[in-house]
Homo-oligomer: A and B are copies of this chain.
Amino acid sequence: MSSARNLSVALRRARVPKPRCWVRPVITNRASVLAARSFSVSSVVGGNATREIKYTTNAYPELKRNPNFAEITERDVTYFKELLGAQSAVIDGVTTDATDDLEPFNADWMRKYRGHTKLVLKPHNKEEVSQILKYCNEKKLAVVPQGIVINTSRMNKIRSFDEASGVLVVDAGVILEVADQYLAERNHLFPLDLGAKGSCHVGGNVATNAGGLRLLRYGSLHGNVLGLEAVLADGTIVDSLSTLRKNNTGYDLKQLFIGSEGTIGIVTGVAILCPPRPKAVNVAYFGLESYDQVRQAYKEAKGHLSEILSAFELMDGRSQKLVHESTGSKYPLEGEYPFYCLVETSGSNAEHDMEKLEGFLEHIMGEGIVADGVLAQDETQFQSIWRWREGITEALSHLGGTYKYDVSIPLPELYQLVEDCRERLTKMGFVGDDDSFPVRAVVGYGHMGDSNLHLNISVRQYNKEVEKAIEPWVYEWIQKRNGSISAEHGLGLAKKEFIGYSQNDTMLKLMKQLKTLYDPNGIMNPYKYI
């Protein structure tokens, strides 16, 4: 970053020649910085990757297997093998020893959950998914996380793309980055970007209603997904794969599958509206003295950058220190600040965008809202700046365990949760610099533009007392402010008992009604929230 222009100096000189604007038509490589950023549940992440992961049934002894579920038999396996044909479509740990092949399907990347699955099925199309579910439903065989895993990686075709309308239709198992690369070659962009793009499936993104880095600009999947194809527990194929922007003919049922975490059906196909790929992308990075100034900077960014603003990310000083210590990289700015922001613009005219961005920078520097800043001058600097945001999760994972909370809080109090949590844990004697303290740091970062905070508590080791000090305190704190205990990560297993902090009894009752309607035997993701 040494060649990155220091804004405070440049702006003090005033009216210096315009910086070169880096035009960057493709934005696909950035995610490789962090191939496995969490978009999952809150969790303690073990620092030692080789350490054995506990079976979830041991870690959560209160979870009891539903006695109505059947055990998989040899006969079931024979049925599935005949159904799916291809050798590669079935990993059979029932009649053979396939422990090693099954392991990746039984453990999650955060190393918190481990299942007992003995059978992985990889159907090739929706009809096979339908046959599998119909059979499982009749035989009361549970599907994920115990019992049978249905993996969609073989359903990986890009079905169609229409340049005129920007509508892409893909199988559920297409990897997000593959879809985006395909679109890049056609001057379009997938309207979702997140750290895990190199490995996550589009179907999974939809099933979990993933948010990510540019929701601020392109909106949520509820708006962008035009059609879905899904299979219900009884094998019914729901073909609602419309590619139309407007279709007001009855209830918009596909919406129910977006964010339902596989509890009412399996998504097999997705039609999504994709915007033209921006011709120019710029990124700036600032240091700020207070959270109030962060809010002011965000307000000014909305006003000055308006339609070209594509990301406004917040990182606190501690989070950046962790990245610094973990990567050894030189800080982008000279001094250290309690808050940092990353502002990205995406537009169709590089010169216009730079002019808007400079107007914004001049204003926030002139008003003293930001203390210092840099502007990426080329792609290397662009990647490097983004790494200070996207590298936080990885930096944390090197340090021991992390309690992760992904929450929505109205902007005025967004960062207050981090302060309050730090104060609480400090007063309780948990936080300190040497190894006698369980908590190393309480850090906050996230998507400022979406009121979405990632609260991370970095611990030297897993500690029940620390956990008790955080939960349910953190959920109560959020409930009081009408926030959400899960902004974009979903509930999964870890937060299922806390849903009541963000949904009232009526909503829960209505959700249970729907779960019963679509999955009367409860075979779909049986440990999930409903």
Which residues of A approach B to under 8 Å, CB–CB? 162-165, 208-209, 211, 215, 219-220, 222-224, 236-240, 242-253, 255-256, 258-260, 264, 276, 278-279, 295, 298-299, 302-308, 346-349, 352, 355-356, 408, 410-412, 447, 450-452, 482-491, 495, 499, 502-504, 506-508, 510-511, 513-514, 517, 529-530
Q: Are B246 and A215 interface neighbours, CB within 8 A?
A: yes
Would B504 and A239 count as touching, CB distance under 8 A?
yes
Closest to A245 in B: B450
| Residue of B247, B278, B306, B408 touching A487 (CB-CB under 8 A) | B247
Residues of B within 8 A of A348 (CB): 303-307, 356
Cα separation A314 to B278 with both chains bound (whole Å):
26
> How far is the CB of A244 from the nearest CB of chain B, in Å?
4
Per a CB cutoff under 8 Å, which of B165, B248, B502, B510 touches A490?
Answer: B248
16 contacts between A and B (CB under 8 A): A162-B410, A208-B248, A222-B252, A239-B506, A244-B408, A245-B452, A248-B487, A249-B529, A250-B508, A251-B259, A255-B255, A304-B348, A348-B356, A349-B352, A352-B356, A514-B517
In the complex, the answer to whether A249 meets B503 with C-beta atoms within 8 Å is yes
CA distance A352 to B349 in the complex (A): 9
Q: Is B223 touching A220 in the complex (CB atoms < 8 A)?
A: yes
* Extra contacts besides A249-B495, A251-B530, A352-B355 (4): CB < 8 Å: A222-B252, A248-B488, A250-B529, A514-B517
- For the complex, give the distance between the alpha carbons of A483 and B246 in Å: 9
Write out the residue numbers on chain B whose beta carbons fall within 8 Å of the beta carbon of A256.
251-252, 255-256
* Given A162-B410, A348-B306: A530 touches B250 (CB 8 Å cut-off): yes
Residue contact A452 to B302, C-beta cutoff 8 Å: no
Q: Which residues from chain B contact A224 at a C-beta distance below 8 Å?
A: 219, 223
Docked complex Cα distance between A299 and B186 (Å): 13
- A244 surroundings in chain B (CB, below 8 A): 408, 410, 451, 482-484, 487
Instruction: For A306, list chain B residues within 8 Å (CB).
Output: 276, 278-279, 347-348
Contacts of A412 in B (CB 8 A): 164
Q: Which of B164, B485, B502 touches A298 (beta carbons < 8 Å)?
A: B164
* A230 vs B530: C-alpha distance when bound (angstroms): 22
Bound-complex Cα distance A308 to B349 (A): 11
| Pick from B162, B239, B451, B491: contact of A246, CB under 8 Å | B451
Cα A305 to Cα B450 in complex, Å, equals: 26
In the assembly, what is the distance between CA of A495 and CA of B511, in Å?
Answer: 30
Which of A211, A408, A491 lies at the interface centre, i.e. has the most chain B CB atoms within 10 A of its CB? A408
How near does chain B come to A72, taking the closest CB pair, in angstroms?
29
Across-interface contacts of A346 in B (CB, < 8 A): 307
B245 contacts A451, C-beta separation under 8 Å: yes
Instruction: Tell whether A250 pairs with B507 under 8 Å between CB atoms, given A164-B298, A255-B256, A513-B517.
Output: yes
CB distance from A303 to the nearest CB of B (A): 7
- Smallest beta-carbon distance A120→chain B, Å: 26
Q: Which residues of B sit under 8 angstroms from A486, Cβ to Cβ?
A: 247-249
Q: For A236, what are the chain B residues with a Cβ–Cβ distance below 8 Å?
A: 506
Query: Once bound together, how far apart are the Cα atoms of A206 and B256, in whole Å?
Result: 17
A452 engages B252 (CB within 8 Å): no
What is the distance, in angstroms, from A42's C-beta to the closest C-beta of chain B? 12
How far, in angstroms, from A222 to B220 measured CA to CA in the complex? Answer: 9
Given A223-B223, A255-B222, A255-B256: A276 touches B303 (CB 8 Å cut-off): yes
Q: A250 — which chain B residues lie within 8 A by C-beta?
A: 259, 491, 499, 503, 507-508, 511, 529-530
The one of B237, B252, B295 that contacts A506, using a Cβ cutoff of 8 Å: B237
- A246 near B211 (CB under 8 angstroms)? yes
CB neighbours (8 Å) of A165 from chain B are 410-411, 451
Q: Within the complex, what minimum Cβ distance (angstroms) separates A47 from chain B?
A: 27
**Which B residues are in CB contact (< 8 Å) with A252?**
209, 222, 255-256, 258-259
Q: For residue A249, which residues in chain B have a CB less than 8 angstroms away from its CB?
A: 484-486, 491, 495, 499, 502-503, 529
Min CB distance, A448 to chain B, in Å? 10
CA distance A264 to B513 in the complex (A): 15
CB distance from A319 to the nearest CB of B (A): 20
Q: How far is the CB of A203 from chain B (nearest CB, A)?
A: 16
B residues less than 8 Å from A259 (CB atoms) = 248, 250-252
**Least Cβ–Cβ distance between A297 and chain B, in angstroms:** 12
- A482–B450 contact, CB under 8 A? no
On whether the beta carbons of A253 and B510 are closer than 8 Å, the reply is yes
Known pairs A164-B295, A223-B220, A237-B506; A246 contacts B488 (CB<8 A): yes
Name the B residues within 8 Å of A247 (CB-CB). Answer: 408, 484, 486-487, 502
Contacts of A246 in B (CB 8 A): 211, 215, 220, 408, 447, 450-452, 484, 487-488
Contacts of A258 in B (CB 8 A): 252, 255
Min distance, Cβ A114 to any Cβ of chain B, angstroms: 24
Chain B residues positioned under 8 Å from A260 (CB to CB): 251
Nearest residue in B to A349 (C-beta to C-beta)? B356
Select A299's contact among B164, B356, B451, B483, beta carbons within 8 Å. B164
